[in-house]
Structure 1
Amino acid sequence: MRDRLDIPDPSEVSRRIGVGVPLDGAMTVGEWLETWGASKKTKTTTTNGYRSHIRVHLKPGVGHYRLDRFNVGHVQEFFDGIDAANEVAAAENQDRREQEARAKCGKNSRPGPPSRSGWRSSGRGWPRCRRTRPSRGPRRSSGSGPRCAPR
């Protein structure tokens, strides 16, 4: 029968692994990220970028988990939250673009006061919205879209 060795001391295991992470289970992911960021030997701008990502994204999302209990499920939950936030932002951006397109040609799209006093007396009047024909192809009744142009 083979003789077994004693279980090594946690400080010895930590030293052998070379990570410097205490193996007592009290460290959180956020604390480990700070330790990792401090140990990186990179350019200042790269290190500042890492610190920014840790502070803004990682610590609020996964920094509260204990390091010894951190698993793939926590990471998946974190990424699902990011995905949901991105979907909300994409929907809000689409709504904003549609609103801008609707407002582009209408009573609110008139230019400011004329720069020359002869504008009004010339009979040209204010620019109005009309449909213009596409740059290529036959003329269509619907045109390429609304565009503000002088009469």
Structure 2
Amino acid sequence: MKINEGVEWAAHCCLLLNWMEADGPVSTARLAAGYGLPPAYLNKQLQPLVKAGVLTSTAGKKGGFRLAKGLGDITLMDILTAIEGPDEAFKCAEIRQAGVWADLPASAFRAPCAIDTAMRSAELEWRRALAAQTLAQVQANAELQAPGLRRQVQDWYAAR
């Protein structure tokens, strides 16, 4: 499974917006400058977060994005679902009913596919782990790993 890089950009932007909350809404151009991204690309990644209620967006010259709720109320699963959608990663195509087994009666396939069961179980655990991890926890870890990061970000954006 490959996760869209927009999930990473969205999570980073949420942390940044939390650090910049005193500045009011932060424009897409300003956010994008910090990551070296085209503003249109970043805007496309952030719009699903607005739809999901993670961010708010204000139009106009003084507009931009803000967090709609605290980082403690936003999980990595919220970000993933907003960007990627709620669909399951694995879709069982029931290939066991094809080929050499195609002539077997439907009763031979009453039991769920063991591969499907295993994949669904693994995905459920993965989704639970993402749902248990808030952006507040991620931010705390980022600040432990890089003391002064918050201040660096705030200083960089204040200079622009």
TM, length-normalised to structure 1? 0.30
Structure with larger Rg: 1
TM, length-normalised to structure 2? 0.29
Structure with larger RCO (C-alpha < 8 A, sep 6+): 2
Name the one with the larger helix percent.
2
